[in-house]
Structures are given as C-alpha cells and as structure tokens.
Chains A and B, each alone.
Chain A
Amino acid sequence: MKISEIIELVEGKLLTPYANLETTIRGGFAGDLMSDVLASIEPDSVLITGLMNPQVIRTALIADIKLVIFARGKTPSMDTLKLAIAERIPVVNTQLGLYEISGRLMKAGLPSFEKPMLFRYDED
C-alpha cells in the first residue's frame, strides 16, 4: 500500500515537507513501547504510535520503518519533527486513535507485523 493511500485512509496530515508518497508500505505495527516495536516489526512498514519523543524517529531509523503515524491528534515535539526531517522519515498525524487507524488500514488490506510474545528465554 502506498504512503499516499495510507494518509487518505487515516485522514492524516503530512507534517514533514517532503516524502515520496509512492513508497510502498508492506505492513504495520501499533504501540507505544519501543522495545515491543523492535521485537516484531519488519522493514518497509508503518509505525502507529501515541508516543511523541525523538526515540520514535530513532526507532524508525534503526528498524527501517518507512512511515510514522501519530495518533489521537497529538503533535510531536519540535525535536522529534526536526529529527524526522533531517533523517527523511515521513511523519503524519491524525485525529483518529490507534485502534481506529489500525482497523482502517487492516480492513484496506495492510497486514499486521505484530507477533505474539509467547517465547521464553530457555526455549532456544
């Protein structure tokens, strides 16, 4: 699914001045705890979060996340936005909540990259 389609589906507003809206996103993850994100997200994905600090962008960079959506109408801090612009991570915000955003994207066919945490340390 293209970034442009995602923005339309979630009624989002692009906060970074430039982005390749043709970039293909393969799946998504919604959450506020960055280690949970890193534990299961895959490259070329969208991260939907209510967290607003620069670590969101750093997490995106580390994990090759290609789009960040900030939920519930929150606006990220200037530090976060500046980092997103400098590192060329497209950032979108929307009035919708995590549940609604995820629901709309999944209904439109974007798969989930969330994985259950059933494994235990002594298993492997």
Chain B
Amino acid sequence: MTDEATLTDDEAGKITRVEELAYELSISEVMTRNVITLSPNLTMLEALDLFKAHRISGAPVLKDGNLVGILSIEDLIRCLRDGRIDLLVSDYMSTRMITARTTDQVVEALKTFSQSHVGRLPIVDEKGKLAGMLTKGDITDGLLKALQKEYQVEELIRYRASHLFEDIVSDRTSLILRYTIKKDDFVHGGEASNHIKKALLRLGASPQVARRCGIAVYEAEMNLIIHTTNGGVLRVEVEPHKIIMEAYDDGPGIEDIVKVMEPGYSTAPEPIRAKGFGAGMGLKNIKSCVDEMTLFSSKEKGTNLFMIMYLEKEHPTAESKAATP
C-alpha cells in the first residue's frame, strides 16, 4: 500500500523544525539586500525596462533616500491597460505600504503575507530607511538554507561520534561519561540523564536503547539527589557492544535492600512526593529497562548501582528483553 499523502516521522520532524526556524530567524537573515530601487520621476516605460532587465516583478520607490512607495507588476499591467506608459512611476505606485522591520521574526512576515494580499514587503531598519525586500520565495530559500546547515552540523557530529570506535584500535575501547550529582539539586534533576540519552543517540544507539538507558539513569540520578548524604556520581561507560551505567554515593546506604526492590515501597518523605518523586517504582523501573542490574549497599561504603545494557542481539539477556516490550 502506498500513500504519498502520508508524512513519515522524519518528514514531520523537518516540518516542525521549519516552523520553529520561522520563530528563530529574523527577517534580516533571509531578505534580499541588494535591491533595485526606482525614482518616482521615472516613466513607467523606464520602469518596465528595468523590470525586464533585472527579471524582477516589483521594486520599492525611493525619494531622497526615503521609501515613498512600491511599484509592482500589477501596477505596470494597470498602466498598460490604460495605454499610459508615458506616465510617471509616482502616478501608478502604491503608497499605502505594509512594511516590516529587519529585527522582526520571519513568522511575523508570514502572518503579514497571509493576512494581506501583498507579494513583497519593503524591510526597514530602526531608522525607517529601506534595508531590503522580502518575498515568500526569500523566506522559503532562507528557511531551507538554515535547515540544511543545521542538518549538516548534526550529521557531522553524529558521523564523528558513531565512527569513534571504528577509528581507534585497542583491545578494548570505551568512552566514559561522568556526571557529579548534587544532593537536593532538584532544579537540575534529570539534566545529566538527558545529556546521556542524547550522547547515546549521537553514538548511534537506537531510539529504544537510548530511551531505556535514559529512564534507568534518570531514576538513578533522582535517587542520588533524594536519598544520599552528599550526592554522588553517574558514570556511563560506552563500549561497541554494551553500555555500563553506574550510580554511586558515599552514604547513608540502604536499610533494607530486599524491601527497596518491591514496587511501591518508598522511604521518600512527603516533601519529596510533592515534587513528583518517591513513587516506590524507581529501582523496579531500572530493572525492567536494563539487561542486568546489581545493587550493593552498606552503611560504611554507601550504595553502588550497576546497570548493563547489551547492544548485540545474540546476547541471551538482550534477546529476552527485546521480546517483551
């Protein structure tokens, strides 16, 4: 079955990005700067010749450097219909102009284009002087260029990261990421985990693997923030065929290591639950996300949580996980 009208996720993502770029780019970044301008004293015939010579369909009219009107191909047609090609630009130009500023967002111009029926907008600087012209075509070109540039940058980062392991020869190559997690730092809670998830995606992990690892380290990160005496460390070691994630701290240690694995069991006080944590699902979630999980804890040495994710399908644990979504 083929349905060409259906967007793929990838295409939909690109469309979203185009919409976002319309908010991020300013008009000055996409407008045409070297504009052919007309004097109001030119005859319409001279204007017609200029339009032909430069293959343009409209131009701003300047008098003493100030914008006084805009002449479009429609005005020329009107003039030809009247049979008065000898009249002046000032007779046919439209003086009721909609302008936009160089600093406006591209999306503002898009709104203007859809609300009015103008095809081009004179763009003025902060002093009201003409700085350029903008057509819908300029916007399309500008957005495509920006999209292309971003895409190339991200592709390059991904390419470099995903080929990291191929380019380096050793008996065992790995990449280690370390994050220091502060006690009670709820403002940044989850930031390290999101960095880890993004890093794994750049290194070539599938979205499913990145998501599962992300959930596991997010739970571990929140545990370090909520339950430790002095915070702790998140350490992720990426190898070509497995990801080893570790969360460790120096205390106070877990009171009842069997009970802590039960779904719904939580030692988090009420203020923590009010922040949305302490559901008693953390370690259970980690266990169901990764292929192997080991928890060590003592009052003297604190807690060490090891999590392993295998990236090879042949691995027995990885396969059984893949079967249960």
Contacts and interface: CB of A to CB of B under 8 A. Distances in A.
Interface stretch (B108-116, B152-160, B260-268): B260-268
A56 B190 CA distance: 10
Interface string A39-67: 10001000001010111101101111000
Contacts, number: 108
Interface string A12-29: 000001111011000000
A56 B222 CA distance: 13
B261 A121 contact: yes
Contacts of A62: 190, 193-194, 197, 211, 214-215, 218
A22 B12 contact: yes
Interface in B267-282: 273, 275-282
17 contacts: A18-B19, A34-B276, A34-B277, A35-B222, A35-B282, A36-B281, A39-B281, A39-B284, A39-B288, A43-B211, A49-B276, A54-B187, A58-B191, A61-B194, A63-B211, A117-B281, A121-B284
Contact of A59 (B186, B218, B282): B218
Contacts of A106: none
Contacts of B275: 51, 53, 55
Contact of A58 (B23, B190, B207): B190
A61 B197 contact: yes
A120 B285 CA distance: 12
A33 B263 contact: no
Interface of B: 7, 12, 15-16, 19-20, 22-23, 186-187, 189-191, 193-194, 197, 207, 211, 214-215, 218-219, 222, 261-264, 273, 275-282, 284-285, 287-288
A46 B28 CA distance: 37
The A contact surface, by secondary structure, is loop
A17 B20 CA distance: 9
Contact of B12 (A19, A23, A34): A23
A37 B191 CA distance: 18
Contact of A51 (B23, B193, B218, B276): B276
Contacts of B22: 18
A53 B263 CA distance: 24
B12 A55 contact: no
B197 A120 contact: no
Contacts of B214: 61-63
Interface of A: 17-20, 22-23, 32-36, 38-39, 43, 49, 51, 53-56, 58-59, 61-64, 79, 87-88, 117, 119-121
Contact of A117 (B189, B207, B263): B263
Given A34-B279, A38-B281, A58-B194, A117 B264 contact: yes
B226 to A, nearest CB: 11
B279 A35 contact: yes
Contacts of A58: 189-191, 193-194, 218
A53 to B, nearest CB: 6
A121 B293 CA distance: 12
Given A23-B16, A36-B281, A53 B276 contact: yes
A79 B191 CA distance: 13
B114 to A, nearest CB: 16
Given A62-B193, A117-B281, A38 B218 contact: yes
Nearest to A42: B325
Given A38-B285, A59-B218, A121-B261, A33 B207 contact: no
B285 to A, nearest CB: 5
Contact of A33 (B12, B186, B191, B277): B277
Contact of A121 (B187, B262, B279): B262
